[in-house]
Amino acid sequence: MNERNHKLDDLRIDRSEQEERSPRLLLALVALLLLGGAAAAAWFFLLPRAAEVTATAVVSERPSEQRNGSALRGTTVLDASGYVVARLRATVSSKITGKLEEVLIEEGMAIEEGQVLARLDNASQSRQLALVESQVRAARERLKETEVRIAEAELDLQRTRALVESEVVGQARLDSDQAELDSLRARLLVGREDVSVAEQQVGVARQALDDTVIRAPFAGVAVTKDAQPGEMISPVSAGGGFTRTGICTLVDMSSLEIEVDVNEAYINRVRTDQPVQAVLDAYPDWKIPAHVITTVPTADRQRATVRVRVGFEALDPRLLPEMGVKVSFLEEVEETPEPDAAADASPRLYVDAQAVRTEGDEQYVLLVAGGRAQRRGVVVGPERGGRHEVVSGLAAGDRVVTDGPPELADGDAVRTR
């Protein structure tokens, strides 16, 4: 019996050792997972990210593309500040006072000349038009009646004249019929004038009805929306402050220019058609060619300034009314090229002055190639007009960094704005 029990004991599974190993295995798995998560987090946070930079291309120009075939050098003689303004700008209102029924524009919408911007409630004008049209019809019917009576009076006059000749009736009867005919003819003239007046009243009523439709006086862009359906609008300001005086502000973007106030002590440095370089506060790296349109022939006594109008050489969608701008008035010096240089029409390369960096005696740029910054040594000429002529080191179309982190170095990952 004991021997049989001993054999049964040998067949039992000893679970005490497995229970001791199970917690250790679980702890090992948890530690492994934590170690992997820490490694993944370290890889994510320590991985170098691409730096955001601004890049411009190296451009190629021929000497013949410059004005008058000769090189031009601009020297700044005066700096001033001003604003971009629109010469053609209007707050569109209605001709009459009324309640807005519909407004068909939104800010930023392109508007064509004559396009309907809004409609006023026209119930009164429509009824007035119907009334005067009925008055015209009534006047025309009265005119027809008078014409019929004139025809009858002419027949009566002929018969009376015959009776007078036959001495059947006296001269008094003939005179009476003649006066009746003359009276009807005068009434016909009055009736025709009544018809003309009624027709003119129809024209006035139709104009009043048309005035309830507000149209764009010129093509442009709606920069503000000043009224909503249900509000009262009037061409003049009304008491209480609850009546609008305009539907929207319309700006002709093709009429944009710059207005600057120049101190009158320096106005002698400005002349018509003088070249100007403009820089918007919103885009400090964008140098915009412009020219002086005219000097307004009056001075501001309080500020001791003279207003100068400056026109853009070419318009751009980035130009917006009321933007701040700094302008530099240039004194253009024309240099007559050497005969050999004039004959050389080979393209020349130019790079933005902000892209050229200096380290010791070496000048270099950071190219953007394959998503990384690549340092390249260059030889450039002196700065002129915000850029350098490239002597060597670059090719047309190369993209170079003009703005980026100060610590940006060769081989760093970059991403252009």
Contacts of 245 (CB under 8 A, 6+ apart): 91, 93, 233, 234, 235, 236, 237
Q: How large is the average pLDDT for residues 308-327?
A: 93
Q: How does the average pLDDT of the chain come out, rounded? A: 82
Lowest average pLDDT, out of 36-45, 255-264, 347-356, goes to 36-45
- Measured between alpha carbons, how far is 370 from 11 in angstroms, rounded to an integer? 71
Return the domain boundaries, the chain. Answer: 51-62+345-416, 71-87+254-335, 89-121+212-251, 123-210
Dist. CA 160–CA 233, nearest whole Å: 67
pLDDT one-digit tens code per residue, 185-219? 888 888 888 888 888 999 999 999 999 999 999 99
Rounded Cα gap, residues 144 and 194, in angstroms: 13
Within 8 A by CB and 6+ apart from 21, the residues are none
Tell which CATH classification among 3.30.70.260, 2.40.50.140, 2.40.30.10, 2.40.30.170 matches the domain 71-87+254-335.
2.40.30.170
Q: What is the pLDDT of residues 138-190, one digit of tens each?
A: 888 888 888 888 888 888 888 878 887 877 777 888 888 788 888 888 888 88
- Give Cβ neighbours of residue 12 (< 8 Å, ≥ 6 apart): none
pLDDT of residue 307: 95
**How far apart (Å, rounded) are the C-alpha atoms in residues 50 and 416?**
9
Joined tokens for residue 221? 């862009």
The per-residue pLDDT for 152 is 85
Q: Three-state SS for 213? A: strand
| Per-residue pLDDT, 66 | 47
What global pTM score does this model have?
A: 0.53
Most confident of the ranges 302-316, 354-368, 396-410: 302-316
- Fold classification of 89-121+212-251 is OB fold (Dihydrolipoamide Acetyltransferase, E2P) (2.40.50)
Say what angle helices 123-165 and 171-210 make with each other, to 10 degrees. 170
| Mean of pLDDT values over 357-381 | 86
Which structure tokens are listed for 278? 């403009």
CATH T-level topology, domain 51-62+345-416 = 2.40.420
**What confidence score (pLDDT) does residue 342 get?**
46
- 71-87+254-335 shares its CATH topology with 89-121+212-251: no
